[in-house]
Structure 1
Amino acid sequence: MASKEIIYKEHSFQLSYELVNPAEEKVMLVLHGWGSNKEIMKQAFGKLLPEYKHIYLDMPGFGKSSNEMILTTEDYAKIVQHFLDTLGVVPHIAMGHSFGGKVSTLLNTPCLVLLSSAGVITEKPWSVKLKIATVKFLKPLGMTFIRDLFKSKDVENMSHEMYETFKNVVDEDFEASFSKSQSKALCFWGKEDTATPLYTGEKIAGLIQDSEFYPLEGDHFFFLKHAPFIAQIITQHCKD
């Protein structure tokens, strides 16, 4: 495990990362989802795809990487690109789970691997709509403590900066970015995923001009069970 300091918009980010197969020339960058870290991604893919140098990165504010700035998805992509430039590597593959899929899309690598990527706005359950309406009603009255009661579990115990970052990215319409992608995209999805439902994956695959879609059994973390199959498809389709 290693770390690298990155300066972005006059803020310092200490980024934690790990290399697997460091002697290989072709590079695969692997990005986790919101509230997660590099370890779960390494658990899934660390022993697969030996022909690639793997870079497992804790994005700012997650795992062992620092963040004291309110960020957008575009900021994350720029920070990750700066990190890659500092290492002197040009990834052939960017793989991203959930939120990491949006960041990976912006990196414009030859091959893009999306694992239940976020980026398509979904209809909120009535219970969530009720919480939002309650917070909006009480906020002018100064009852801001209500907001803390209704915070998503995705942001529990997170700093103010990360909570505001979450609000920036959680309901972001990323369809235009998917449409602009020139990468060869392999889209893998969990059939029982409720965080990023299957139909959102079908939509993303339809938006990316050069894409293939693979629905697989499982929930939002389906890739933990299907990593060997995903690796096999990557080997077949990401050669060039």
Structure 2
Amino acid sequence: MIRIVGWLALTLVVLIVVVPIGFRGAAALRETRSPQEAAPPGSLFATVDGLKMHYQVWGPQDGPPLLLFHGTASWAETYRDIAAPLGEQGFRVIAVDMPPFGYSERPANQDYSRAAHAKRVLGFADALGLRHFSVGVHSYGGGGVIEAAFSAPDRIDALILLDAALGLGQTEAPALPFASLLDRDWPRQLLTASTFTNPFMTGFGLRQFIENDDLVTAERIAIYTRPLNVKGTTNAVGHWLLSGLYNDERKSLAANRANYRAFTPPVLVIWGRDDTTTPLAQGKEIASLFPHAELAVLDGVNHIPQVERPQDVVRLIASFLKRTLPAAQ
């Protein structure tokens, strides 16, 4: 019995060590193409602070511009279910890949803080010659986009928040699990290759954020996994864990409630009633802070309303913009 237990323990240790190494090896074999080489045919790129940022466009050239920024492990194409219909309604919808995700180049300094994110948001608008624009954002991307909006409120025609993850009211820096290990390069890369950049985990991850598992089809999983062949993805996402997801943003513009109260452009907050990541109470609080905000709650929706109820999201956004943007009326 002792011998059997010993072998079981040894097997467990081997699995814990060998499996992540296997996933990291698979990532190295997979991540071989530059962003421009890996991007779909006809992809568009804009140079922002020396980085080529990938984006997709729907709708007429002269339509009111609506920039869409994504959350964790997403990219421009994941907005397709709402971007195309909004384009058909006359809006110029522009969805952007924000580093370290999608087909945009990653910064050499590996800075994915809210301030860096905000600089890229405004820099991208500059690259496209957009002085004024509406902007929508989902989940993790909310902190950087709100930072940009608070930095240049005169440029924002309207702000749309989809289950934004902001961490308002945090009194301590977010705790990075196994911080002593993940502060080191190889353990961090092993974890990242086993989770965030592991295509076998994509479907499982989506199901944690979507109420109806039937929506997590093979086609949708393929969309989310498509950019995982970009060179350096695992390394970049590993750095994002430190300077992005678990960065201490308590002094950021988006963490200060006073900045919300001073923001005068119209705001639409769309939230899933059954959100298990950013509960509805957070959405209600965010909406209450803005002086000109509307809150729309979608029943039967978890954390990704643009995927779970795209028709309702399109209806809400189109109605909101047509009421608030003179150019869209």
Between Structure 1 and Structure 2, which shows a larger proportion of strand residues? 1
Does 1:228 pair with 2:311?
no
Match of 1:5 in 2: 47
Match of 2:97 in 1: 58
1:1-240 alignment runs, 5 A limit = 1-7=43-49, 12-49=50-87, 50-68=89-107, 69-105=110-146, 106-107=148-149, 108=153, 109-121=156-168, 132=177, 135=178, 145=187, 153-154=195-196, 157-159=234-236, 160-169=238-247, 174-176=254-256, 177-217=259-299, 218-224=301-307, 225=309, 226-240=312-326
Relative CO higher for 1 or 2, CA cutoff 8 Å, sep ≥ 6?
2
Residues 211 and 42 (structure 1), Cα distance of their counterparts in 2 relative to 1, 3 Å cut = same
Structure-2 separation of matches of 1:113 and 1:237: 14
Structure-2 separation of matches of 1:158 and 1:183: 38
Query: Structure 1 residue 152: deviation in Å?
Result: 9.6
Between Structure 1 and Structure 2, which shows a larger proportion of helix residues? 2
Contact 1:179 1:208 in 2 (8 A): yes
Contact 2:65 2:94 in 1 (8 A): yes
Number of residue-to-residue matches in the alignment: 226
Contact 1:187 1:205 in 2 (8 A): yes
Residues 2 and 232 (structure 1), Cα distance of their counterparts in 2 relative to 1, 3 Å cut = closer
Query: Structure 1 residue 147: deviation in Å?
Result: 9.5
Larger Rg: 2
Structure-2 separation of matches of 1:115 and 1:15: 22
Structure-1 separation of matches of 2:249 and 2:196: 13
| Mean Cα deviation higher: 60-69 or 162-171 | 162-171
5+ residue gaps in structure 2? 1-42, 199-233
Structure-2 separation of matches of 1:175 and 1:115: 17
Query: Structure 1 residue 168: deviation in Å?
Result: 4.4
Structure-1 separation of matches of 2:244 and 2:197: 7
RMSD of aligned residue pairs (Cα, Å):
3.2
Amino-acid identity (%):
21
5+ residue gaps in structure 1? none
